[in-house]
């Protein structure tokens, strides 16, 4: 559609034909307003980590509960943070990325788009001793690093002081922005700004910030991150390929019968994406009834 029209006019004082372009001011104003509105929504979607067209962050939409019968992947607890009773019959593994918007949505939702599942899982299964929860790190989108990796290190440092889950859940409130870092700190000021933000969060939770800061700068803080990454690359990625999965995404949950010890691998069905609570309930209840695995 053209936003200008042309008309030929004979100018009586000459023999030449001229083309006069007449522009409607109202049309120009509409075009400018549309451009401003488009830019606003583009910028806002990026700022909130919701532009996922080229990412492997996963959102489960328009799926039926019967779709929970997906592939079976392996997992083991290792040295990862665990919430819940050690003897719980079911174990839920979460592989997530602090810069993934749908990992955040699992805990806090996205208005009119994703309902948070975490609180109901915790209330109905973890707090009742029916399931325990294991946190793992996995960055499916390279562009989320280095912020995602540094945030995973920070969560590990909180784990050393006995507050992994408290720290991780607070971190998700201000992260999940596709690589921008907590409160956009990395995007604004690089790693130094991100580190300051992460230490500030530790301080708010009453952690020893001196020990936390030293841990954040250490190779030790990469231990869990690297172990989880290696397991995904050497085990889960091969299982995914064999099952015909087109790559891996986050959040990724593996739900299985509790292994006999932390170094025993268990195999469980997978939910890859920010699924509603009912999907978790279906898989967990099947295991508790002995109908699966």
Nearest to 172 by CA among 102, 254, 228: 102
Calpha distance 75→95 (Å, rounded):
10
Nearest to 270 by CA among 255, 286, 257: 255
Cis (ω within 30 of 0) for the bond into 3?
A: no
Q: Which CATH architecture has domain 65-288?
A: 3-Layer(aba) Sandwich (3.40)
Nearest to 99 by CA among 168, 175, 156: 175
pTM of the model: 0.77
Nearest to 255 by CA among 285, 276, 225: 285
Strand order in the sheet with 266-272: 72-75, 266-272, 252-257, 90-96, 131-137, 82-83
Nearest to 24 by CA among 1, 2, 4: 4
Calpha distance 33→225 (Å, rounded):
46
Q: For residue 233, give both structure tokens.
A: 């690359």
Confidence at residue 110, expressed as pLDDT on a 0 to 100 scale: 82
Confidence at residue 47, expressed as pLDDT on a 0 to 100 scale: 34
Contact status, residue 144 vs residue 100, Cβ threshold 8 Å:
yes
DSSP string, the chain: --SSEEEEEE-TTSS-EEEEEE--HHHHHHHHHHHHHHHHHHHHHHHTT---TTS-B----S--GGGG---EEEE--TT--EES-TT-SEEEEEEE-TT-HHHHHHHH-BTTTB---HHHHIIIIITTTSEEEEEEE----GGGTTHHHHHHHHHHHHHHTT-HHHHHHHHHHH--SSSS-GGGHHHHHHHHHHHHHHHHHHHHTT--HHHHHHHHTSGGGGHHHHHHHHHIIIIIHHHHHHTT--S--BSEEEEEEPPSSTTS-EEEEEEES---HHHHHHHHHHHHTT---
Confidence at residue 291, expressed as pLDDT on a 0 to 100 scale: 62
Calpha distance 129→125 (Å, rounded):
6
Calpha distance 136→253 (Å, rounded):
10
Write out the chain's pLDDT in tens, 293 residues: 322 333 333 333 334 443 444 556 554 454 455 444 343 333 333 333 333 223 355 445 545 545 565 789 999 999 999 999 999 999 999 999 999 999 999 999 887 777 889 999 999 999 999 999 999 999 999 999 999 999 999 999 999 999 999 999 999 999 988 999 999 999 999 999 999 999 999 999 999 999 999 999 999 889 889 999 999 999 999 999 999 888 899 999 999 999 999 999 999 999 988 888 999 999 999 999 986 65
């Amino acid at each position: 559609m053209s936003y200008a029209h042309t008309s030929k006019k004979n100018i009586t004082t000459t023999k030449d034909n001229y083309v006069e372009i007449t522009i409607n001011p109202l049309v120009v104003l509409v075009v400018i307003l549309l451009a401003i509105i488009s830019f606003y929504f583009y910028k806002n979607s990026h700022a909130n980590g919701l532009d996922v067209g080229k990412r492997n962050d996963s959102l489960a939409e328009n799926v039926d509960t019967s779709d929970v019968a997906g592939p079976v992947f392996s997992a083991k607890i290792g040295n990862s943070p665990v919430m819940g009773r050690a003897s719980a019959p079911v174990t839920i593994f979460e592989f997530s990325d602090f810069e993934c918007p749908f990992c955040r949505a699992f805990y806090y939702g996205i208005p009119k788009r994703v309902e948070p599942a975490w609180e109901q899982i915790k209330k109905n299964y973890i707090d009742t001793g029916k399931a325990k929860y294991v946190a793992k790190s996995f960055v499916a989108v390279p562009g989320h690093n280095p912020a995602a990796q540094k945030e995973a290190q920070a969560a590990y440092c909180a784990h050393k002081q006995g507050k992994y889950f408290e720290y991780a859940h607070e971190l998700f409130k201000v992260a999940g922005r596709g690589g921008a870092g907590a409160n956009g700190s990395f995007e604004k000021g690089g790693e130094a700004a991100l580190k300051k933000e992460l230490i500030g969060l530790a301080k708010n939770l009453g952690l020893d910030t001196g020990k936390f800061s030293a841990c954040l700068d250490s190779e030790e803080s990469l231990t869990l991150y690297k172990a989880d990454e290696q397991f995904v690359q050497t085990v889960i990625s091969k299982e995914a390929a064999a099952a015909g999965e087109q790559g891996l995404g986050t959040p990724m949950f593996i739900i299985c019968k509790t292994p006999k010890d932390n170094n025993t691998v268990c195999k469980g069905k997978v939910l890859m994406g920010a699924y509603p609570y009912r999907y978790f309930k279906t898989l967990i209840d099947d295991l508790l009834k002995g109908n699966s695995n």
